Amino acid sequence: MLDTSGAPLLDAPGARPDVVKPDAAELASATGCEVAGAGAERLRGLGARSVVVSSGPGGLLAVTPEGRRRAVPPERLAGNPTGAGDACVAALAAGLADGARWVDVLSDAVALSAAAVACPVAGDVDAAAYERFRTTVTVEDLHAPQPH
């Protein structure tokens, strides 16, 4: 799992990480691609197996060997976004380590991130919000995978 920005975001995929998780601004800055899907495909072309792009309240875009999916939280949240990206990475890593399907991994990552935003203190998670969001995150298939 790689969560970085700047030049390492373009250099590290050569090591063939399973997942690269930039946010949309980091991805655009490193790749020059304003469209997240194009930037994610660029990182896959450089060697990343899968790329998950976080877009804050817009949720996640995942470009994987299985295809593209977008996962969005069930509602707009106000709160403290500090730590939401780390919560996302933790949920991605845990789900993939458990062998969960991508649709479930993404749903859980959005739910945990949203539950982190709902807390005023960075690094904390609103457990009740997490349980509520786990069943209400929307995950949409966008289209088939691109060959690499």
Which of 18, 23, 86, 108 is catalytic? The answer is: 86
Instruction: State how far the Cα of 110 lies from the Cα of 107, in Å rounded to an integer.
Output: 5
Q: Is 86 a catalytic residue?
A: yes
Residue among 41, 123, 31 at smallest CA distance from 86: 123
Sheet-wide strand order for 60-64: 19-20, 50-54, 60-64, 67-72, 138-143
- Number of neighbouring beta carbons within 10 Å of residue 3: 20
From residue 146, give the alpha-carbon distance in Å to each of 96, 117, 127. Answer: 21, 33, 37
In the DSSP assignment, the letter for residue 16 is -
Give the 3-state secondary structure of residue 48: coil
> Catalytic residues, which ones?
86
